[in-house]
Amino acid sequence: MNKIASIIFILFSLLSCSSDDDNNTVSFSLNFSHNWDGTPVTNADFNTIKFTNAEGDQLSIERLRYLISDIKLEKSNGETIIIEAYNLVDVTNNQNLIFSPTATISEGTYSKVSFIFGFKNEKNLDGVYPDLNTVSWNVPAMLGGGYHYMQLDGKFLNSSNMEQGYNYHAIRAADNPGANPTFPQDTFFEVNLGSVTISNNAVFNIEMNIAQWFKTPHTWDLNVLNQMLMPNSAAQIMMYDNGQNVFSLKSVDQ
Amino acid sequence: MFFICFSCTNEKVDTYSPTPSALQIPQLFGDKIINPVIPFDNPQTVEGIALGKKLFFDPILSADNSQACADCHKPENAFTDPDRFSDGINGTLGTRNSMPLFNLAWNYDEAFFWDGRAFSLEHQAFNPVTDPIEMASTWPEVEQKLQDHSEYPTLFNQAFGTSKIDSSLVTKAIAQFERTLISSNSKFDKYLLGETSLTPQELNGFNVFMDENRGDCFHCHGSENNPLWTDNLFHNNGLDAIITDLGLGEVSGDPADNGKFKSPSLRNLAFTAPYMHDGRFATLDDVIDHYSEGLQDSPTIDPLMKKVAQGGVQLSPQDKADLKAFLLALSDYEFINNPAFKNQ
């Protein structure tokens, strides 16, 4: 949904006290691009079976959107900036591929820049973000409520060579669906972009290799795992495992 | 009514300023979803809404003064037509079922019609008047009839500060009225507000709706966190193996959109039969059977459609009955009985 400002709250918390304040402040943004093992992917590549996963399944993508939150920049002196915002990257509609927090940061070397894929549990509260409710990003209360982390939908050629739908929906893994679901392990994760030196307004060019979701450590067989994966906590944990190698920082423009 | 009168030299000029009338945003909508879309060049006013309502119910907009918008959008049917295809003034039938009209200001992408071909309510309203199988008139003719009418020039002056009637003011007034058609008082809304409770059957039906292993309806039709009960997006929900009405594909020119239609809101289903873009299903049981075992595969079927090879999600008879009970709890009797929405 185009007109939705992607941030409804930016709590900008500077957790440091001892920083030297002579530094210039600059703005920065995250620019998300997507590839399939190195071949760029945009929504123009959607709706045709043109990708092959590690298992050898041929597949298409019809819809891809995912949520990132809590960007964190840490300096070796302990100075830490956390930008408590979130952004729903919507590749299908080419929206929010660039996320520009309103907060500024100081120049210098950050030993670690990271963000969260999905929401940390304490942010993953049911129904509290109107812009995400508006785009039906919710997770049913019986699975713990809150929000999806990712929706990757498409078709694959199944073992009878017929097109079949798949819904690779990543959420917080839950067991015992119902009034009191339990949570076997966390499935949001931190994406560590490594160390970055900022000398000017900066654009972090972040790549998602979509093929990795199907690759390591779990070779994903779409004939086995295709739909109804939200209530399948084992599948959620596999998504979490495979997600560890999905993102990388390609470059920083400044 | 506020008249600001001021005189310049010898002439007395009346400048009319219509009374702003902000949309009443229901509590659940305000809590759960972002604000509705109101174009800055067509603010809601008391006079504009009243004029729009009069026009909506007035057959003067049709070529032979026989058909009003309300003939195909009846208040008692949540502003749709109980006939599968509506009769135009010439007795010609269309190929699409009429659409219910409510909560239209929350259609954020502003894509109207089953196939999304009209952008904005203002633009949508231009269509029926000249559609040969609907009101079959021309805008110059309609403008002239309104201009010659004993009341309309004054009403336009009150709403828009000019008694010179043109089509864009007609559509603006109608759009203002349409935006006031808000439905938010179903049994389920009252349940969410803690004002009533649901039967065990309705509660189980809601769980079927929300359960990915059973109905899995929420991905397209909203949830307790999205009171619109639609995503207002376009999907192929597996009605046909061979697609004849291209739907969104006709509008976008992209074959990947063939057979996609706008997800309708599931509010007010008790009043809006028949169902689907072509009104093919007479009852809610037919609709539920469709999702349960009637799915037809086609290249553009939405990947969210489950177990297509088996015909669908295979609900048990009990789950089907409960799902239906839940769906009916989304119907809003106060909406269809609201005197503000009826022709007096």
Out of B218, B224, B303, the one facing A62 most closely (by C-beta) is B303
Tell me, yes or no, whether B342 lies in a domain: no
- pLDDT at position A204: 97
Instruction: Please check whether residues B86 and B209 belong to one and the same domain.
Output: no
Residue B11 φ then ψ, to 5°: -90, 145
- Is there a domain that residue A22 lies in? no
Query: Looking at beta carbons, which residues of chain B come within 8 Å of A136?
Result: 218-220, 222-223, 226, 231
Instruction: Give the gap in angstroms from C-alpha A128 to the nearest C-alpha of chain B.
Output: 7
Among A3, A227, A236, the residue to mutate for chain B (most B Cβ within 10 A)? A227
Chain segment A124-177, per-residue pLDDT in tens:
999 999 999 999 999 999 999 999 999 999 999 999 999 999 999 999 999 999
Q: Under an 8 A CB cutoff, do B211 and A166 touch?
A: no
* 8-state DSSP, A228: -
For residue A6, the model assigns a pLDDT of 38
Give the end of a domain, one of B138, B157, B182: B182
What percent of chain A shows pLDDT beyond 90?
A: 91
Question: Are A147 and A137 a contacting pair, CB within 8 Å?
Answer: yes
Query: Do B174 and B195 lie in a common domain?
Result: no
State chain A's mean pLDDT as an integer. 92
Q: What is the mean pLDDT of residues B16-38?
A: 96
Task: Name the band, by pLDDT with cuts 50, 70 and 90, for residue A10.
Answer: very low
Question: How many structural domains comprise chain B?
Answer: 2
B308 Cβ under 8 Å from any chain A Cβ:
yes
Q: What per-residue confidence (pLDDT) applies to B71?
A: 96
The answer to whether residues B228 and B321 belong to one domain is: yes
Cα separation, B203 vs B220, in Å, equals 19
Q: For the residues of A34-55, what is the DSSP string, one character each?
A: EEETTEE--GGGTTS--EE-TT
What pTM was estimated for this model as a whole?
0.94
pLDDT of B247: 98
**Is A195 part of a structural domain of the chain?**
yes
Mean pLDDT within B169-187: 98
pLDDT at residue B48, rounded to an integer: 98
Structure token pair of residue B105: 């200001």
Asked if residue B166 is part of any domain, the answer here is yes
Residue B163, domain member (yes or no): yes
Tell me whether A164 touches chain B (CB under 8 Å): yes
Same domain, B165 and B269: no
User: What is the band of B90 on the pLDDT scale with cuts at 50, 70, 90?
Assistant: confident
User: What is the tens place of the pLDDT at every residue in B262-309?
Assistant: 999 999 999 999 999 999 999 999 999 999 999 999 999 999 999 999
Among all residues of chain B, which has the CA nearest to that of A61? B303
When mean pLDDT is compared across A12-26, A46-60, A101-115, B194-208, the lowest value belongs to: A12-26
**Of B167, B182, B197, at which residue does a domain stop?**
B182
Is the pLDDT confidence value at B7 over 60?
no
Is residue B265 in a domain?
yes
Question: Is A162 contained in some domain?
Answer: yes
On whether both B145 and B221 belong to a single domain, the answer is no
B237-262 pLDDT per residue, tens: 999 999 999 999 999 999 999 999 99
* Percent of chain A at pLDDT exceeding 70: 91
Query: Cβ B108–A47 below 8 Å, yes or no?
Result: no
Residue A227: give the domain boundaries: 27-253
Residue A9 lies in a domain: no
Q: Domain check: are B157 and B246 in the same one?
A: no
Q: Is residue A249 within 8 Å of residue A202, measured between CB atoms?
A: no
Higher pLDDT, B30 or B93: B30
As a whole number, the mean pLDDT across chain B is 94
What is the structure's pLDDT at A28?
95
- Least confident range from A199-208, A243-252, B7-16: namely B7-16
Beta strands in chain B (DSSP E): 2-8, 11-17, 111-112, 118-119, 234-235, 261-262
CA distance B291 to B237: 8
pLDDT at A2 over 70: no
Residue A13 banded pLDDT, cuts 50, 70, 90: very low
> In chain B, which residues have their Cβ closer than 8 Å to the Cβ of A61?
none
pLDDT of res. B151:
97
Q: Is the pLDDT of residue B6 over 60?
A: no
pLDDT in tens, A180-198: 999 999 999 999 999 999 9
| Domains in chain A, number | 1
Within a domain: A66: yes
Residue % of chain B over a pLDDT of 90: 92
Of B226, B301, B304, the CB nearest to A134: B226
Q: How far is B243 from chain A (nearest CA, A)?
A: 17
Cα angle value B185/B190/B195 (rounded, 5°):
140
Asked if A206 and A194 touch (Cβ cutoff 8 Å), the reply is no
Q: Where a domain ends, among B182, B212, B243?
A: B182
Confidence bin at B14 (pLDDT 50/70/90): low
**Has residue B131 been placed in a domain?**
yes
A108 contacts A77 by C-beta, under 8 angstroms: no
Residue A20 lies inside a defined structural domain of this protein: no
Is the pLDDT assigned to residue B213 strictly greater than 90? Answer: yes
Give ∠ CA B60-B61-B63 in degrees, rounded to 5: 85
- Chain A nearest-CA residue for B256: A47
Any domain includes B105: yes
Judging contacts by C-beta atoms under 8 Å, the chain B residues touching residue A1 are 108-109
The residue range of the domain holding B86 is 18-182
Same domain, B39 and B135: yes
* A67 closest CA partner among A113, A102, A32: A32
| Same-domain pairing of B88 and B154 | yes
B225 in Cβ contact with A146 (< 8 Å): no
**Looking at residue B228, which CATH number applies to its domain?**
1.10.760.10
Q: Is a pLDDT exceeding 90 seen at residue B88?
A: no
User: Is residue B87 domain-shared with residue B136, that is, in the same domain?
Assistant: yes
pLDDT given at position B8: 40
How many of the other CB atoms lie within 10 Å of CB of A166? 24
Q: A164 and B308 in contact by Cβ < 8 A?
A: yes
Both B128 and B265 in one domain: the answer is no
The whole-angstrom distance between A248's CA and the closest CA on chain B is: 28
Same domain, B48 and B169: yes
Determine, for residues B299 and A163 on separate chains, whether the beta-carbon distance falls below 8 Å. yes
Tell me: the pLDDT tens digits for A67-119?
Answer: 999 999 999 999 999 999 999 999 999 999 999 999 999 999 999 999 999 99
Give the pLDDT band (50/70/90) at residue A1. very low
In a domain, B289, yes or no: yes
Structure confidence at residue A24 as a pLDDT band (50, 70, 90): confident
Count Cβ neighbours within 10 Å for each residue of A51-83 and write b for 16 or more, e otherwise.
bbbbbebbbbbbbbbbbbbbbbbbbeeebebbb
Residue B128 lies in a domain: yes
B84 shares a domain with B133 = yes
Do the domain assignments include residue A5? no
Q: Is B220 on the interface with A (CB under 8 A)?
A: yes
pLDDT of residue B10: 46
Q: What is the pLDDT of residue A21?
A: 47
Does residue B156 contact residue B174 with C-beta atoms inside 8 Å?
no
d(CA B277, CA A178): 35
